[in-house]
Amino acid sequence: MSQRDMTVYEHIGELQKRLMFVVVFFLLAVVVSFFLAEPLIRYLQHADEAKELTMNAFRITDPLKIYMEMIMFIALIMTSPLILFQVWSFVSPGLYERERKVTLSYIPVSLILFLGGLSFSYFILFPYIVKFMMGLSMNLNIEQVIGINEYFHFLFQITIPFGFLFQLPVAMLFLTRLGIVTPMMMAKMRKAAYFILLVIAALITPPDIVSHLMVTVPLFILYEISIWISKIGYKKVLEAEQKLEMEQFEEINKD
């Protein structure tokens, strides 16, 4: 039985199976992450942005909390390709054969964009913000006592959102292929989208205009790229529909 002919309950059962598969793989990734978390934490503590800072634990549980959060973060990255593949497998029966192959290629691209977003925020945005904050503290004669918990939470707050935001072009292309979004809709909603991105930038950056622009401008560019990519995907959808109509018309004429 194809997924097109499945009932609602059968779809739910299929979704549960896929979720269970993801959960099992995530637990295995957590086990592997136990061995990767400590080296990564040490690397981040001795990177250029943090090597001059003295990390302090204000609570006994702070080191364990950071260790567990890093494990979950690494496990999530390791599991993300499988999650994307399961999503693709679940919706692919509703796509044309050509679209199945094309959308499958989105998975590695999505992962690359996620890592690209993390890299941009960590190597470009994060150092500037740290320098800005330290400079502000010196100007105000404030001696900062850095808590390791607060430092890593701030690091996650800056970097992780960018990992997801950089996937905007792929997400919009995928939704366009599914017929949920069109480039005309995205262009019409440009002002509202810009406002939402502006708010997101304000939430993840300190209150200075330079760092705000460093986040806002790339997000605006990403949205415009998403519209352009969506146009390409929309054109492919129309071509596929026209081809299918022609094939059906030819079959009718043969009969």
Give percent of the chain with pLDDT exceeding 90. Answer: 15
Helix and strand numbers (H, E) in the chain are: 10, 2
Average pLDDT, the chain: 82
Tokens of 42: 């040490």
| Domain extents in the chain | 8-253
Which of 158, 156, 173, 178 is closest to 222 using CA atoms?
A: 173
pLDDT greater than 70 at residue 83: yes
pLDDT greater than 70 at residue 255: no
Q: How far is CA 113 from the centre of its chain?
A: 8
Q: What is the pLDDT of residues 198-212, one digit of tens each?
A: 888 888 777 677 777
Give percent of the chain with pLDDT exceeding 70. Answer: 86
The amino acid at 183: P
Residue predicted with more confidence, 80 or 47: 80
The amino acid at 123: F
pLDDT of 30 reads 94
Tokens of 137: 């503290």
Gap between the Cα atoms of 179 and 120, Å rounded: 31
Q: What is the pLDDT of residues 104-154, one digit of tens each?
A: 778 888 888 888 888 888 888 888 888 888 887 888 888 777 888 888 888
3-state DSSP assignment of residue 46: coil
Q: What is the pLDDT of residues 154-210, one digit of tens each?
A: 888 888 888 888 888 888 888 887 778 888 998 899 999 999 988 888 887 776 777
Residue predicted with more confidence, 99 or 193: 193
